[in-house]
């Protein structure tokens, strides 16, 4: 399987190159040159596999540079790091609603599903393409990617990692997790700006030949651990396939029955992986894209206009406080009939004017399984407390956005299709807001809030979030948002 750039189809690379590079030189994103299919027979036989084997099987369809033995080895190592058994349990709430918990990994967010695996793919890909420079992973994070990437890449041979996060745009817990990161090849830095500022600055560096040459002189080449990297997306396809297989195995559905997924979205990487599973042939009815108050995606799905000329809000679901959803580019590529010139034009319009508009009728036809909705802050709070009262299940602030959007969707449409709500973080990553939703009391300190929440609900604080307060803070730098380039060059010389 080969990969092409969304902005220039004649740029063709292998899967290993796509992973090592992260981003195409023309600024586009790598996508598979075609979609492999998954047959009913294969879905059927996956029932007997463990999650790591299912993941390796799905990966093998896309990553033809790797043998199934290699992939099984990596997925086993990756998912062995999850702290309690099944890396992605599917919890039934009632006879048509399920929660897919993707946060049992080392940092308690769904990013671990891919970022425990990406380092193995990266090291192997480096060997396969004969890379002799060090790989410098640059990450912009809205909170969860940073920590998951740091845990994944710490002390990984041949790689160094630098993470930028918005100083005031992440939860206290997320900040503490990153500031206390261990490892000899890591650097973490806060910027005065929001996630979009961090992501844009990182993308500029990827396209800045001068900086790239300076890095090369020091023995480094850039790559990305954000979901713009194909190696981040492909592991995410596996859990969409696997939850279908779980529902088959539990006889909640019959082979061929369609299901919905509702996904709390920001950079559009998670839900895009669901779309890819659909393109492989997994029977999916609707992909419901849930946003918080930063509802640029909702508006896009309802009007065809993607417009970032609007206020940016800081919400209690910070990992979704994003206006520029990078992975939408990959969807635009598919639904425009893989029209690379058109995608390049749209992205240029976004960059220069802050918006683009597509042919909506045509879009509705080609992307007819997408729905968009959003939940404002009050609604998210109410969802957390209602869901806890009704189902004795504790949602984090991001998953609550999805639950709220799904509820509104099912009331409006009467759609009775069985629906999997993709749960992206442990409630203990956002303990103050979750505790406030349940009790009406806002606690000052996140560690204290986590302890109170544990006492109130009787649900244990996950092991990776215990004893954070006793870990040493290593990274306190805060820089202006236009100084990222300098910070990168300074960090590699340390």
Judged by the rule CB under 6 A, the positions of this chain that interact with ligand PLP are 109-111, 144, 227, 264-270, 319-320, 398, 424-425
Q: Are 438 and 385 in contact, with CB atoms under 8 Å apart?
A: yes
Between 149 and 156, CB nearer to ligand PLP: 149
Tell me how far apart the alpha carbons of residues 11 and 67 are, in angstroms, rounded to a whole number.
24
Distance CA 12, CA 17 (A): 10
- For the bound state, the minimum distance from the C-beta of residue 233 to ligand PLP, rounded and expressed in Å, comes to 9
Whole-angstrom CA distances from 39 to 43, 62, 178, 258, 282 are 6, 15, 41, 14, 8
Q: Which of 297, 299, 294 is nearest to 312 (CA)?
A: 294
Shortest distance, CB of residue 323 to ligand PLP, whole angstroms?
A: 12
CB-CB neighbours of 305 under 10 Å = 13
Closest CA to 106 of 75, 78, 73: 78
Shortest Å distance, C-beta 218 to ligand PLP = 31
What are the structure tokens assigned to 483, written together? Answer: 């100084």
Residue placing its CB nearer to ligand PLP in the complex, 215 or 437: 437
Sign of CA pseudo-dihedral 12, 18, 21, 27: positive
**Minimum distance from CB of 180 to ligand PLP (Å)?**
18
Measured from the CB atom, the residue of 60 and 317 that comes closer to ligand PLP is: 317
Output 52 or 177, the one with its CB closest to ligand PLP: 177
Q: Which is nearer to ligand PLP, 60 or 260 (CB)?
A: 260
Determine contact, residues 52/78, Cβ cutoff 8 Å. yes
Asked if residue 327 lies in contact with residue 269, where contact means CB atoms within 8 angstroms, the answer is yes
Q: Which residue has tokens 């997408």?
A: 370
Cβ at position 319, least distance to ligand PLP in Å:
3
What φ, ψ does residue 367 adopt, rounded to 5°?
A: -125, 40
The least distance separating ligand PLP from the CB of residue 225, rounded to whole angstroms, comes to 12
Closest CB 109 distance from ligand PLP, rounded Å:
4
The rounded distance, in Å, linking the Cα atoms of 345 and 340 is 9
Q: Closest distance between ligand PLP and the C-beta of residue 255, in Å?
A: 29
Closer of 124 and 263 to ligand PLP (Cβ): 263
In the bound state with ligand PLP, the residue whose beta carbon lies nearer, of 424 and 446, is 424
CB of 2 or CB of 200, closer to ligand PLP: 200
Paired with 195 in beta bridges are none
Least separation in angstroms between residue 34's CB and ligand PLP is 23
What SS3 state is found at 141? Answer: coil
Nearer to ligand PLP, 136 or 320 (CB): 320
Q: Would you mind telling me the total number of residues written for the chain in this entry?
A: 494
> Quick one: 160 or 321, whose CB is closer to ligand PLP?
321
Counting Cβ atoms within 10 Å, is residue 6 exposed (0-12), middle (13-18) or buried (19+)?
A: buried
Nearest-approach distance from CB 322 to ligand PLP, in angstroms: 7
Q: How many CB atoms lie within 10 A of CB 489?
A: 15
- Backbone CA torsion sign across 59, 4, 38, 281: positive
At closest approach, how far in Å is the CB of 133 from ligand PLP?
A: 29
Q: Residue 113 or residue 162: which is nearer to ligand PLP going by CB?
A: 113
Of 336, 344, 329, 437, nearest to 382 by C-alpha is 437
Stated as kind and residue range, the H or E segment containing 68 is: helix 68-79
Residue 224's alpha-carbon distances to 118, 157, 218, 228, 388, in angstroms, are: 10, 16, 18, 7, 38
At residue 270, the 3 state secondary structure works out as helix
Minimum CB distance to ligand PLP, residue 42 (Å): 26
Cβ distance to ligand PLP smaller for residue 70 or 396: 396
Cβ-contact 184, 161 below 8 angstroms: no
């Amino acid at each position: 399987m080969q990969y092409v750039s969304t902005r220039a189809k004649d740029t063709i690379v292998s899967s290993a190159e796509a992973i090592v590079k992260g981003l195409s030189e023309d600024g586009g994103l790598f996508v598979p040159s075609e979609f492999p299919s998954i047959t009913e027979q294969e879905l059927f036989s996956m029932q007997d596999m463990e999650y790591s084997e299912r993941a390796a099987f799905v990966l093998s369809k896309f990553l033809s540079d790797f043998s199934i033995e290699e992939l099984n080895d990596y997925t086993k190592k990756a998912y062995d790091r999850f702290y309690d058994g099944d890396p992605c349990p599917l919890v039934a709430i009632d006879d048509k609603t399920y929660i897919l918990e993707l946060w049992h990994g080392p940092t308690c967010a769904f990013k671990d599903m891919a970022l425990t695996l990406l380092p193995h793919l990266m090291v192997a890909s480096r060997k396969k393409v004969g890379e002799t420079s060090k790989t410098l992973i640059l990450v912009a994070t809205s909170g969860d990617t940073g920590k998951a990437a740091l845990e994944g890449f710490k002390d990984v041979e041949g790689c160094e990692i630098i993470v930028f996060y918005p100083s005031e745009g992440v939860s206290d817990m997320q900040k503490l997790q990153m500031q206390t990161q261990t490892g000899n090849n890591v650097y973490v830095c806060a910027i005065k700006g929001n996630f979009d500022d961090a992501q844009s600055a990182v993308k500029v560096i990827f396209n800045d030949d001068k900086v790239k040459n300076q890095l090369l002189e020091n023995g480094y080449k850039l790559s990305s651990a954000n979901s713009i990297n194909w190696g981040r997306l492909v592991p995410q396809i596996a859990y969409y396939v696997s939850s279908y297989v779980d529902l088959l195995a539990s006889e909640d559905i019959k082979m061929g029955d369609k299901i919905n997924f509702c996904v709390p979205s920001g950079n559009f990487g998670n839900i895009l992986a669901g779309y890819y599973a659909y393109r492989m042939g997994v029977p999916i009815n609707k992909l419901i894209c849930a946003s918080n108050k930063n509802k640029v995606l909702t508006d896009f799905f309802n009007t065809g206009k993607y417009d970032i000329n609007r206020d940016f809000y800081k919400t209690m679901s910070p990992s979704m406080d994003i206006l520029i959803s990078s992975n939408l580019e990959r969807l635009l590529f598919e639904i425009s009939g893989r029209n690379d010139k058109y995608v390049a034009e749209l992205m240029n319009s976004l960059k220069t004017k802050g918006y683009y508009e597509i042919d909506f009728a045509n879009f509705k036809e080609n992307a007819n399984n997408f729905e968009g909705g959003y939940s404002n802050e009050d609604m998210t709070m109410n969802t957390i407390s209602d869901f806890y009262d009704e189902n004795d299940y504790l949602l984090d602030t991001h998953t609550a956005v999805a639950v709220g959007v799904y509820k509104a969707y099912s009331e409006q449409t009467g759609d009775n299709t069985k629906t999997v709500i993709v749960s992206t973080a442990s409630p203990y990553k956002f303990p103050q807001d979750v505790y406030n939703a349940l009790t009406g009391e806002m606690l000052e300190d996140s560690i204290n809030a986590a302890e109170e929440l544990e006492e109130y609900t009787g649900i244990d604080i996950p092991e990776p979030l215990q004893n954070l307060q006793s870990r040493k803070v290593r990274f306190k730098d805060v820089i202006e948002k236009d100084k990222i380039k300098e910070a990168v060059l300074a960090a590699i010389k340390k």
